[in-house]
Structure formats: structure tokens, C-alpha cells
Amino acid sequence: MNNGAVMTDGDGAVPPAFIHGVLATIRRRWWLLPAGMLAGLLLAGVYLARAQYLYSSELKVYAAPSSSGSRPQSPLGGLAALTGLGGGSEAVSPFRFYLDGVYSPEVANRMARDPAVMHTIFAGEWDARAKAWRQPSSLSGALRGLVAGLLGLPQFGWQAPDANRLQGFIADNVTIRQSVKTPIATIGFDYPDPVFAPKFILKLHQTVDDYLREQQAARTRGNIAYLAGKLETVTLAEQRQALVTSLTEQERLAMLAYGNAPYAADPFDQVTVSAEPTRPRPIPLLIGALVAGLILGAVAALLLAWRASAARPLNG
């Protein structure tokens, strides 16, 4: 009597007799295999019928030539010599700030000022007639609240769409891939509307670039005012030369910030959008459902056989 343990031979391998017994048990309830596969197909079909199909859009960008041009060896130039600050580390490029700025709160705050963006992304919560946000009511939301209450999980009240929610949306749906072989970064965005998706990426790109441009413009204005004031009071020739060098560099940065060309990142090409939805993928999903249904059918056949054998002594 093996008490349900798997018998092995001297080498620790499962003997063929055991495998044949398992296959024979499954064959006796063979109808569970197609039943499981059919159930898997039905569930996959229901999911595909209710799923939201997403189109993939991408924008390739690279560091704008204006922001990656030649710079002084020290990021502070002659000003560092005046103040005694060392120029030991190079300045972070505007392109690096651009990639990080995609997910920043300030960029989301600026994007949220556009009603078209907010009303499209959070369309299910916008009442066009009342021109106001409303809490959506759905069975899935009610079930989630019920389950959270039963499990003692924290529940948070509904919050009207704002910059915070838009920032979360960007963090969840916008991806950035940067190649180690090329200086190009790819911004990706998957969305059900193939017309809105490229518009959203372009607006996001422009918002980040404009934000960094404005920051640089404000910074250089302050630096130029400070250096110009210093230049009026300093008399030593060496210090005046250092101030002039720094002032020249700040004027160059101001010219870049106030120009019309892209400041931090330049699009490599137009936004590309997939011709067909990329998610979900029906064929792999259906194949996976068939395999999962087949496995579940086999497991069900073995469990039923085990229950039947366990109940025999009680009925004997």
C-alpha cells in the first residue's frame, strides 16, 4: 500500500507503470479534456469580446543639437574661478532632464490644463451635459469595494481627475526605452484611440521641452543680471575676464532658450502608430486558453479518480 505516494525505481525515476496508470485514469474520463479546452476557449472569447484593444504609438527623440553642443570645460566657466567652486563634475545634459521630466508633477500639471486631454483620458468620468466630473458607477467597482471591505483593505474615496491622477496615468502608460548603442530614446504610449495616441505623445514631448526651456531662460536671466552687476564693480583684469567669459556663456544659453528650435530633445521622425491593435493578441491568447483548459481537464480527471478511490473504503 503506497498511501498515495509516487513509486520510484532504484534510480529515483518514475516507473512506466505509474505513468501508464495516470494516463489510464485520464482516459477513463477523457471527456474532461475537451470540456476543459472548451471552457478555456469560452473564457478567452468572453475576455476578447470585452477587452479594450490598444494601439501602440512611438516617438523617437535624441538630444537637441543646441543642448548638446560644445561647452566650457567647467560647467561654471569663469564664474567658478571667482567663487572658488571647482568644476569637478560635468553638468547634467538637458536631454537627461527631459527623459526624467516626462514623469514629473509639473509636466502633468501643465498637461492637465488642456481640457481635451483630460476629457479624453478620463472620458468615463466626464459628464458633457453637466460639464462636470462625476463618479462612475460600475459593477466591477462595486465588487472591488466589497472585496476590499471583506478583506479589511484600505478604501479610498473617488477623486475627480486632476494633475495627480494624470501623473499616475502617465507613469502607468508611458514608457521610455533608451538604447545603449544609439543616442536615440523611444517614448511609447498604448491607447485604444489610434488618433489621440500620437497627439498625446507630441503634446507630452512639447510640454516637457517647453518646461525645461522656461527653466533655463529664467536661470540665465538671473545669472546674466548677477554677472552684469558684478562686472560694474570688479576692477581686477583677471576677474573681469572671468566674468566676461561667464557672461558670454550665459548669453549663449539664453539665445538657445529663447530660440524656436527644440531645446532639450528633437524628434527623430514623426510619431508612428500601429496599423492594428497590439494588445491583447487573440491568437496567442486562444492557444494559451486551449493549453490551460487541457491541463485543467487532466487535473480534474485525476482529482475525481482520487476522490472515488478515497470513498471506496467508506462504502465497503
Q: Supply the pLDDT for residue 22.
A: 80
What is the mean pLDDT of the segment spanning 201-228? Answer: 92
Cβ(138)–Cβ(74) under 8 Å?
no
Which backbone phi and psi does 267 adopt, to 5 degrees? -65, 135
- CA–CA separation, 231 vs 259, rounded Å? 26
User: Cell numbers at residue 87, please?
Assistant: 568644476
**pLDDT tens digit sequence for 13-50:** 556 777 788 888 888 888 899 999 999 999 999 988 88
- CA–CA separation, 60 vs 268, rounded Å? 5
Q: Supply the pLDDT for residue 261.
A: 84
CATH topology of domain 53-112+162-273: Bacterial polysaccharide co-polymerase-like (3.30.1890)
SS3 content of the chain, % helix, strand, coil (to 5): 55, 10, 35
Write a three-state SS string for 123-189. Answer: HHHEECCCCEECCCCCHHHHHHHHHHHHHCCCCCCCCCCCHHHHHHHHHHHEEEEECCCCCCEEEEE
pLDDT of 241 > 70? The answer is yes
* Nearest partner of 265 among 100, 103, 98, 104, judged by Cα: 98
Q: Supply the pLDDT for residue 75.
A: 39
Mean pLDDT of the chain: 83
- CA–CA separation, 150 vs 85, rounded Å? 60
- Residue-by-residue DSSP string for 238-288: HHHHHHHHHHHHHHHHHHHHHSSS-SSEEESSPPEE-SS--BS-HHHHHHH
pTM: 0.72
List, in order, residues 6 or more apart from 38 with CB less than 8 Å away.
Answer: 293
Q: Supply the pLDDT for residue 224.
A: 87
Higher pLDDT, 219 or 191: 191
Hey, which residues does 175 pair with through a beta bridge? 188
pLDDT of 62 > 50? The answer is yes
**pLDDT tens digit sequence for 87-141:** 444 567 889 999 999 999 999 999 999 999 999 999 999 999 999 999 887 665 6
